[in-house]
């Protein structure tokens, strides 16, 4: 009887530990950042148009699974006249339209300033996001999970962002403050 009771309590802990082990850091030195995903991200190339009309090339890193949907979009603003603060503000405005803003604060990763948001989405999910502009690139991280707060994965994703080397990092491993 005792062994059965112990097993009932240990199984969820073991399953939780196994899920935590599936998260892995992915490094993209050519784009100057690293981030952790709960599985191998899909990478797609695309284009977008900046508010000044400039064509932006972008790369999207995404993973969808049982724990949620996670995406990093990196847009190259080197051909645009839009400044860093304006690009961050425009991206934040777009995300704010997804639902009710719960948190919207200034943030810093390494020596780089940006914004972090938490939004109760109109789709019934919780969106946790981070937006940074580094070396003429806009980085937008979006983690969408169930709105009941049962999963800390969106925050884990958001907080895993690091900028590497000459992109504001301190050596190969930066820190948050």
CA distance 134 to 4: 54
Question: Cβ distance 135 to 165 under 8 Å?
Answer: no
CA distance 15 to 36: 19
Task: Note whether residue 177 is domain-resident.
Answer: no
Residue 101 lies in a domain: yes
Q: What does the radius of gyration of the chain's CA atoms come to, in whole angstroms? A: 18
**Mean pLDDT, the chain, as a whole number?**
84
Give a yes or no: residue 168 inside a domain: no
**Residues 60-86: b if buried by 16+ CB within 10 A, e if exposed:** bbebeeebbbbbbbbbbbeebebebeb
Segment 80-104 mean pLDDT:
94
The CATH number for 83's domain is 3.40.1000.10
Domain assignment of residue 122, given as a range: 24-163
Residue 67 lies in a domain: yes
Instruction: Confirm whether 13 is domain-assigned.
Output: no
Q: 8: pLDDT confidence band, cut at 50, 70 and 90?
A: very low
Banded model confidence at residue 90, pLDDT cuts 50, 70, 90: very high
Confidence of residue 177 (pLDDT cuts 50, 70, 90): very low
Q: How many domains does the chain contain in total?
A: 1
Q: What are the angstrom distances between the C-alpha of 154 and each of 30, 32, 59, 83?
A: 25, 21, 20, 28
User: Residue 175 domain-assigned?
Assistant: no
Residue 171 lies in a domain: no
**What pLDDT, on a 0 to 100 scale, did the predictor assign at position 67?**
85
Strand order from edge to edge, sheet including 162-163: 24-28, 33-37, 162-163
Q: Is residue 15 part of a domain?
A: no
Confidence of residue 3 (pLDDT cuts 50, 70, 90): low
pLDDT of residue 18: 47
Look at the block and give the residue holding tokens 């339209």: 97
pLDDT band for position 26 (cuts 50, 70, 90): very high
**pLDDT tier at 1 (50, 70, 90 boundaries)?**
low
């Amino acid at each position: 009887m005792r062994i059965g009771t112990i097993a009932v309590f240990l199984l969820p802990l073991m399953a939780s530990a196994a899920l935590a082990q599936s998260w892995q850091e992915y490094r993209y030195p050519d784009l100057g950042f690293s981030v952790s995903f709960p599985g191998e991200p899909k990478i797609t190339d695309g284009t977008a148009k900046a508010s000044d009309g400039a064509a932006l090339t972008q790369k999207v890193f995404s993973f969808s699974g049982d724990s949620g949907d996670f995406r990093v979009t990196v847009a190259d603003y080197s051909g645009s006249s839009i400044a860093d603060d304006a690009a961050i503000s425009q991206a934040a405005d777009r995300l704010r339209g997804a639902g009710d803003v719960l948190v919207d604060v200034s943030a810093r990763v390494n020596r780089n300033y940006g914004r972090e948001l938490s939004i109760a989405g109109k789709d019934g999910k919780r969106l946790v996001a981070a937006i940074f502009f580094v070396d003429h690139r806009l980085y937008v991280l979006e983690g969408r999970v169930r709105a009941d707060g049962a999963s800390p994965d969106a925050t884990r994703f958001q907080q895993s962002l690091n900028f590497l080397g000459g992109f504001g990092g301190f050596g190969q491993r930066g820190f948050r403050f």
